[in-house]
Amino acid sequence: MQLSNLNTQFLGRNIIHYTSIDSTQLELWRRVKQNAESGLIIVADEQTQGKGTHGRIWYTEKQNNIAFSFYIRANCNLNDLEGITIEIAETIIDVFKESYQISLEKKYPNDIVFQGKKIGGILTETKSKGNKVNDIVVGIGINTNQEEFVGEIKDSASSIKKEFGITIDNEKIITQFCNQFEKKLRKRIG
C-alpha cells in the first residue's frame, strides 16, 4: 500500500497493510521490538482485537473504517508530548473539515464525536526511561463508511456515512493526516 500525494519526510513513508490482524497497535509494538523504522504505519481493514483506552476493545468492521497505528522514535522529554493526543484529534477534525466540509468535535481526552456519538478514538502509548520518551505508538480508529452498529455500541457509536450520508476515501484521510500531523510533530520532537 502506498499513499498518493504524501509529502512527509518520514510519517507514512513505510506502510504495511493487513486485510485482517489482531490489532494494529499490538503489531506495531511487536515491530518496535525488532527495531522498526520511525514513521512506520500499520493499516488494517479489520481488527479482531483492536485496542481502545482503559482495556476496551475497538471494533473495526471489514473494509469500512479507518484503523491504523503509527510509530515515532522520539528521544524527547515527556513534557514535549503534553497534549499530543488532543493535537492528534484536532488534526483529524481539521482534515475532515477541509476534505468533506463536515464538523466533528473532540471529547477529552481521546475521542472524536458528532452529536454525542463516538466516531473515532485515539490511543497514545509510550515507552520511556525516567523522563525520557524513547518510543511513541499511536492508534487511530475512525468509523467512516460503516452503516450499522450492533450490540453494546449500537446507541453510542456512529460513522461519517451514517451521520452525513457521504462515502469517505480512507486513504485520502490517512494521507492528509500524515501531511498535517508530521509538521506539528516536528515542532515537538525536532
Give the residue extent of every domain in the chain.
15-189
Terminal C-alpha separation, the chain? 27
All cell numbers assigned to 95: 482534515
Q: Is the model more confident about 129 or about 179?
A: 179
- In CATH, the architecture of 15-189 is 2-Layer Sandwich (3.30)
Q: How confident is the model at residue 63 (pLDDT cuts 50, 70, 90)?
A: low
Lowest mean pLDDT among 24-33, 47-56, 66-75: 47-56
Is 58 a residue whose pLDDT tops 60? Answer: no
- Per residue in 97-156, pLDDT tens? 999 999 999 998 899 999 999 999 999 999 999 889 999 999 999 999 998 887 777 778
32 falls in which pLDDT band (50, 70, 90)? very high
Mean pLDDT computed over 26-32: 96
CA distances from residue 40 to 101, 130, 136, 182 in whole angstroms, order as listed = 29, 25, 11, 12
Instruction: Inform me whether the pLDDT recorded for 163 exceeds 90.
Output: yes
pLDDT of amino acid 156: 82
Please state, for a pLDDT cut of 90, what percent of the chain lies above it. Answer: 76
Q: What is the pLDDT of residue 62?
A: 66
Query: What are the residue ranges of helices labelled H in the chain?
Result: 24-33, 84-100, 160-164, 170-189
Instruction: Provide the pLDDT for residue 27.
Output: 96
On the question of pLDDT at 84 being above 60, the answer is yes
